[in-house]
A = this chain, B = another copy of it.
Amino acid sequence: MKTEMRLTGSGGQGLIMAGIIFAEAALLDGNNSIQSQSYGPEARGGASKAEVIISQEEIDFPKVEVPDLLLTLTQVAADKYGKDIAENGTIIADETVDLKAADPSVTIYRTPILKTASEVIGKAIVANIVAIGFITELTGIVSKENIENAIMNRIPKGTEELNKNALYEGYRLAQEIK
């Protein structure tokens, strides 16, 4: 079992941190993982991406080629990365993003990640944590115990409650659509 995940949106949405948190949770689960981000000409266009591979086996090639799971938080990122998705893959898009899958085997979920962060939690900056909760509940790609441990290892002291609430709101959004 190997899952390739691409997290896309705009710079400042904390997607690199989200990738690091997933990779560390996978390690705590006893799996192997690689987290990476590439910067090249395409990174100059306002879309940001971070990638994670999680596998029970050793990982040979560390770069995501066609993701099984794509998160896209902005229209710019969706337009840029939205078509690269594996057969039977899953796309998770913020509700503000307009997106169609070319391949009917792909499942798209649209959900209010950004709005939940800014209105329910009151801090737009935790959109990445809401997204982590949504992905974790929907896919089970990492355990809830270890995603929470990995988040607690990475966030600034004093923001534990805020981030836990954001994670739980992400779980809740996924429970509603499952």
Residues of A at the B interface (CB closer than 8 Å) are 16, 20, 23-24, 26-27, 32-41, 43-44, 58-59, 61-63, 156
- Asked whether, in the complex, the Cβ of B16 is within 8 Å of the Cβ of A20, the reply is yes
CB distance from A27 to the nearest CB of B (A): 4
Contact of A38 among B33, B39, B43 (CB under 8 A): B33
Give the copy number.
2
- Asked whether, in the complex, the Cβ of B58 is within 8 Å of the Cβ of A40, the reply is yes
Across the interface, name the chain B residue whose C-beta is closest to A44: B27
- Asked whether, in the complex, the Cβ of A39 is within 8 Å of the Cβ of B23, the reply is yes
- Across the interface, which residues of B come within 8 angstroms of A38, CB to CB? 32-34, 59, 62
- Across the interface, which residues of B come within 8 angstroms of A27, CB to CB? 39-40, 43-44
Across the interface, name the chain B residue whose C-beta is closest to A25: B39
